[in-house]
Amino acid sequence: MFSPSSPPAGLLEKVFQYIDLHQDEFVQTLKEWVAVESDSVQPLPHLRQEVFRMMALAAEQLRCLGASVDSVDSGFQQLPDGQTLPIPPIILAELGNDPKKPTVCFYGHLDVQPARREDGWLTDPYTLTEVDGKLYGRGATDNKGPVLAWINAVSTFRALEEDLPVNIKFIIEGMEEAGSVALEELVRKEKDRFFSSVDYIIISDNLWLTQRKPALTYGTRGNSYFRVEVKCRDQDFHSGTFGGILHEPMADLVALLGSLVDSSGHILIPGIYDQVAPLTEEERKLYKAIDLDLEEYRNSSRVERFLFDTKEEILMHLWRYPSLSIHGIEGAFDEPGAKTVIPGQVIGKFSIRLVPHMNTSVVEKQVKQHLEHVFSKRNSSNQMAVSMMLGLQPWIANIKDNQYLAAKRAIKTVFGTEPDMIRDGSTIPIAKIFQDSIQKSVMMLPLGAVDDGEHSQKEKINRWNYIEGSKLFAAFFLEMAKLR
């Protein structure tokens, strides 16, 4: 529950005024962070050293705020080609341990996707460049900007010599873009130590649904990724010599992939919808309240027509219903020109985005049974094998948790509007890891606009989002302090 007590008169105004006056300094720090080529994806020693440098820079910044900082050694990463690379340390930092205050833990990452000027960037991706209030650079929105916005909020209270309204902890990694190597193990190991006093966990690693209206994210879809292999022999065939007398692997595979989903997007695997949580009237109202211009959304997506015509149907099929996507075929001829080859072996790849209360092991069994049944009806002499390469569960939070109420109030204070309550159609495993391992409330509080272009050649964060986001985190601390 919220207590009626308020922060000292004028404190919020002082905090906001300080952030406004020092925004150029905050942008300069972001520029320094973006300049570090902390690419964790490409397994190159010099890039891995850059990630280490980025983690050291952040650890030093946190120490300057007075935080106690532990840079946890994470060992080595074994790569498929046999080489090993050191895993960057995971930062565990804390400020304050007042038992009367709630303890809020912020998760962020400081590694980035690869970026090169010649890939289509208009400016050097590692030189933060401001154009019309937009701060372009790799990592600006994913995730260096939001991490710094949290630090900006903390540093503002420190600069004003005001007591921090809450106890704050940080967990910051440098391998998120490469699958968060070593993170889950550390979270489980620290459950009864570092995380024992944590009441709430905040993640700011996703985007708003629109360009100007803030959002709170309370759910993500999971992902089951499959490969289905059909094999006749190791070598390819000449279609003039063997065409017409074989069960061709490609024909079998196309039939298998074509049996998974129909033209309206409905998944054809028996039983796949059985575990999907029923739609409640309360949930239906959430979709109705969301501010989404369908025409603008369609135009910005450069799509002629979606499968559904209403805002509510589109959002529900993006967030609360499963979807199946076919990603590609390995082993097929895919180059320009004409090559009369019959592939001897092909591998199809597809995935299913999972929603509450679907379970990866149940889905795996349903997919295998379905494909085996379809394949058996073809009476093919080829060999068929199905395997699940990846199984990540969906995550959903209780939007009535105290921190969601506090975040709503903070958003109203800073932006003058209620947030869109949204889910994310993609998969962010860390939310589920925290929820299952620590069993505390997890919330996603995004700062970036929908057009921030994370992972793209035009990644940016708006100066407005970055600075107002810093205010939002400060206001959120004060709202959390009102919790009994």
Q: Which residues are annotated as a binding site for Mn(2+)?
A: 109, 142, 177, 205, 455
Question: Catalytic: 176?
Answer: yes
Question: Catalytic: 111?
Answer: yes
Q: Quick one: DSSP state of residue 277?
A: P
Task: Extract the tokens encoding 20.
Answer: 């406004």
Q: Cα–Cα distance between 135 and 448 in angstroms, integer?
A: 11
- Please choose, from the candidates 306, 319, 277, the residue with its C-alpha nearest in 3D space to the C-alpha of residue 420: 319
Among residues 39, 50, 94, 111, the one annotated as catalytic is: 111
Q: Cα–Cα distance between 192 and 65 in angstroms, integer?
A: 25
Under 8 Å between Cβ of 182 and 423: no
Q: Cα–Cα distance between 99 and 463 in angstroms, integer?
A: 36
- Please choose, from the candidates 202, 72, 121, the residue with its C-alpha nearest in 3D space to the C-alpha of residue 479: 202
Non-local (6+) Cβ contacts of 44 within 8 A are none
Among residues 37, 94, 176, 229, the one annotated as catalytic is: 176
357 preceded by a cis bond (ω within 30 of 0): yes
Under 8 Å between Cβ of 43 and 155: no
Q: Cα–Cα distance between 254 and 213 in angstroms, integer?
A: 43
Annotated binding site: 109, 142, 177, 205, 455
Under 8 Å between Cβ of 170 and 63: no
H or E stretch at 471? helix 463-481
Task: Extract the tokens encoding 382.
Answer: 């080829």
Q: Cα–Cα distance between 132 and 134 in angstroms, integer?
A: 6
For residue 305, count other CB atoms closer than 10 A to its CB: 7
H-type alpha helices, 320-451 = 360-377, 402-415, 429-438
- List, by residue number, the catalytic residues: 111, 176
